[in-house]
Amino acid sequence: MSALSELYKQALAVRDRAYVPYSKFAVGAAIMSTSQKIYTGCNVENVSYPCGTCAEAGAIAAMIAAGERLIQDIVVVADSSNLISPCGACLQRIFEFSDKNTKVHLADLEGIKKTYAIAQLLPAAFDEEELRR
Ligand code: THU
């Protein structure tokens, strides 16, 4: 199995553990770091709706907690006829730990359907250059 199929498989598996009693919309995310380790996350909702967290945020937190800093690939999977893209806040979260080689793979229950560079999804990201101006 290729590294990308394994990443998709893990995103799909963690999606099954999403806590989504309110939206019923389960999302899974799996990151392959540049050291070829996999970190996963699912969405975790809360009765106080804004306290809920996205799948991507969970996967990024796991990667950072393990001491890593750079995403090579991230797969985001949901069951939707329109392929979902990470929300705006998650694009910014992914951007923080990306470089020009980072790939964002959008998937449904059949597999990965589209692949983008983060700059294609968030072309005008707020980056650290802006802080220095
Ligand atoms: N959600 C994610 O986990 N990732 C996304 O990129 C989009 C949305 C979650 C948040 C909420 O739990 C549910 O999907 C419906 O918005």
Nearest-5° Cα angle at 28, 25 to 32: 165
Q: Is 126 in the pocket of ligand 1 (CB under 6 A)?
A: no
Stated pTM of the model: 0.96
Residue 1 pLDDT greater than 90, yes or no: no
For a pocket test of ligand 1, which of 19, 20, 27 has the largest count of ligand atoms closer than 8 A to its C-beta? 27
Which residues participate in catalysis according to the annotation?
A: 56
Q: Is 101 in the pocket of ligand 1 (CB under 6 A)?
A: no
pLDDT tens digit sequence for 14-39:
999 999 999 999 999 999 999 999 99
For 3-131, CATH gives: 3.40.140.10
Q: What is the mean pLDDT of residues 96-119?
A: 97
Which of the four pLDDT bands, split at 50, 70 and 90, describes residue 129? confident
Which of the four pLDDT bands, split at 50, 70 and 90, describes residue 132? confident
Give the closest residue to 84 by CA, choosing from 97, 93, 75: 75
pLDDT tens digit sequence for 51-74:
999 999 999 999 999 999 999 999
Q: Is 107 in the pocket of ligand 1 (CB under 6 A)?
A: no
Axis-axis angle for helices 88-96, 55-65 (nearest 10): 20
pLDDT at 81: 87
